[in-house]
Amino acid sequence: MQYLAAGGGAGGFTPILMIVLLFGVMYFMMIRPQQKRRRDAEAMQSGLGPGDEVVTIGGLYGTVTGVEDDAVLLEIAPGVQTRYARPAIARVVTRAELPSEPVTEDADTVKD
């Protein structure tokens, strides 16, 4: 019976270690990736601009025609505009290309 008393001290530490390990695994497998997805979605929604083609959470494709503080105006068909809340935008299909500066070349710098 003496061997039971000698091993009893280490048994109280094991359940606490398992609980801490379980919370650590849950944090790295569930909580942290969800926070990253939320930050990415907020960045995408705040970066919306006119000309972007987007998809709503309902699956509706449209082109952004205007942006307000908490809403986005989408053109879903020629002449048909609807207003959506920013969080209703699921993803950006294509970004509007910014107008680039025209490239001018001098006759002296052109090589034949």
- Of 95 and 10, the structure prediction assigns the larger pLDDT to 95
DSSP 11: G
Convert the pLDDT of each residue in 18-35 to its tens digit: 999 999 999 999 999 999
What's phi and psi for 42, nearest 5 deg?
Answer: -65, -40
Q: What is the DSSP string of 15-70?
A: HHHHHHHHHHHHIIIIIHHHHHHHHHHHHHHHT--TT-EEEETTS-EEEEEEE-SS
Please give the span between the terminal C-alpha atoms of the chain, in angstroms, as a whole number.
Answer: 98
In a domain, 11, yes or no: yes
**Model pLDDT for residues 49-106, shown as the tens digit of each residue:** 999 999 999 999 999 999 998 999 999 999 999 999 999 999 999 887 755 555 555 5
Q: How many domains does the chain have?
A: 1
Identify the pLDDT of residue 74.
95
Does some domain include residue 104? no
Identify the CATH number of the domain in which residue 89 sits. 2.30.30.30
Whether residue 10 is contained in a domain is answered as yes
**Domain extent for 71:** 2-94
pTM of the complete model: 0.60
Residue 63 belongs to a domain: yes
Q: Is residue 28 part of a domain?
A: yes
